[in-house]
Amino acid sequence: MEEKNWSWEMILKITSILLLLGICLAQKTRYDGFSVLRVVPRTAKEVHALNRILENINHLQANIWRFSGVIGKPVDIQISPKHLSNLNETLLRDGFRSELLIPDVQKLIYEREQQNQDIKETAALFEYGKYHTLDEVNNWIDNITKFYSNITSVFEITKSYEGRSIRGIKISTAEGNTKPGFFIEGGIHAREWISPATVIYMTGQMLDRYSADLRIKQLVDSFDWFILPVFNVDGYEYTWTKNRNWRKTRSKHGPCVGVDPNRNWDYQWCKEGASKDPCSDQYCGPKAFSEVEVKGVADFIMANAKTMKGFIDFHSYSQLWMSPWGYTKELPPDFQDQDKGSELAVDALEKVYGTKYQHGSIANTIYVASGSSADWTYGAAKVKYSYGVELRDTGKYGFLLPPDQIIPSGKETLEALIALANFVLNN
């Protein structure tokens, strides 16, 4: 009898421990007291020194929000309170001075959650000025394509690593005619919420204003539009449920989880500007196209490559409109035309609210990055007008942009898209 009672007590204890463990695992990652520092390298030597520091700070609970690689361009580092002084000492030892951008990341996350919750929407209205979960985005895709069934259809790229559907909207106003294609994607990096939000807003405007706005009608009629609001569906879901600052996919290839889906494309894969460390946020994966999401999008684009004339991968943050190459600072033969498109886009964008964007090649504007989407679409799929765009802001809020900036971002980016699309159509 005694042995039975003891076994039962042990079972209860084990059950309690497992329940507590489950609760802990279900909780979101918190960033109480974590801060974001900015450092700006002033010489090529400092760029090299800063990159060396960044390669060796994983043990400090640090996370790179904005990578370094160009003289005069800032790198933003999220750091835990426990290791803040160690990082500052390391930076000072190498002659760097840091600027405090965000004093408490968790406080900013909480503020954004509250602001987003305060925005109410009715059953019949999708609130474009609010950040939405993946389920809400998918419901919007279903609803808006049913409402505009005469010119839209839903396409599925593939299933993600965790089995989620990667879905987009095709807008085509002339089924019988062959028109050039234009592919737009958002949310390749999970934590960059303004990217899907901006893509969704622009898509809504293209459809809602099609019959009433001649400029929008011309934009929509000029191309077959393939619009993928959320590329990295597993990672995006994870930012809502577990870790707001998650960047990568959720696949498992080693001791750590995830691959950087913008370093996994099969063009100049895993050279400079990518990491072979599975725990790095820039991990290129065990091989090119190891990520089912990346391979799926690439296959879809390649299947439509003969008519595809434009491609934009929307990111955040930094306010940059960039064209290939990313893997090298050398310029491609089409750079002059590509950059003219960028120039027209940023000029149109600035006229809306005065928001200033820089433009140029990826490697010369932000940093060298191999295995990127824009390099692959241009180099492999031969889409001449391929771009990587970094949306708002320049670092005040970083990835935690307030929801009241979604519609302004959408409005100005739509003007940029109109200007670029007109240029691509005529060139």
Please identify every residue annotated as catalytic: 390
Structure-token pair, residue 163: 């089995």
Residue 146 token pair: 């049913």
Beta-strand relationship, 358-361 and 63-66: unpaired
| Residue 100 backbone dihedrals phi, psi, to 5 degrees | -80, 115
Give me the amino acid identity at 126: F
Residue appearing with tokens 């835990």? 80
- The one-character DSSP state at 370 is S
β partners of residue 155:
168
- Answer whether 154's CB lies under 8 Å from 141's CB: yes
Question: Rounded to whole angstroms, what are the CA distances from 151 to 170, 212, 216?
Answer: 8, 15, 14
Report helix angle 194-208 to 406-426, nearest 10: 70
Q: Please name the amino acid found at residue 397.
A: Y
Tokens linked to 228: 């993928």
Bridge-based pairing of strands 165-171 and 152-159 is: antiparallel
Q: Is 394 helix (H, G, I), strand (E, B) or coil?
A: coil
Both structure tokens of 138: 């998918």
Q: What is the dihedral of CA 289, 291, 294, 300, to 10 degrees?
A: 80
The total of other beta-carbon atoms located within 10 Å of residue 16's CB is: 10
| First-residue to last-residue Cα distance in the chain | 88
**Other residues' Cβ atoms within 10 Å of the Cβ of residue 314:** 27
State the Cα–Cα distance between residues 157 and 301, nearest whole angstrom: 10
User: CA–CA distance from 292 to each of 175, 248, 255, 310 (Å)?
Assistant: 30, 13, 19, 23
Place of tokens 């964008």: 349
Give, for 360, the enclosing helix (H) or strand (E). strand 358-361
Burial class (CB in 10 A: 0-12, 13-18, 19+), 295: middle
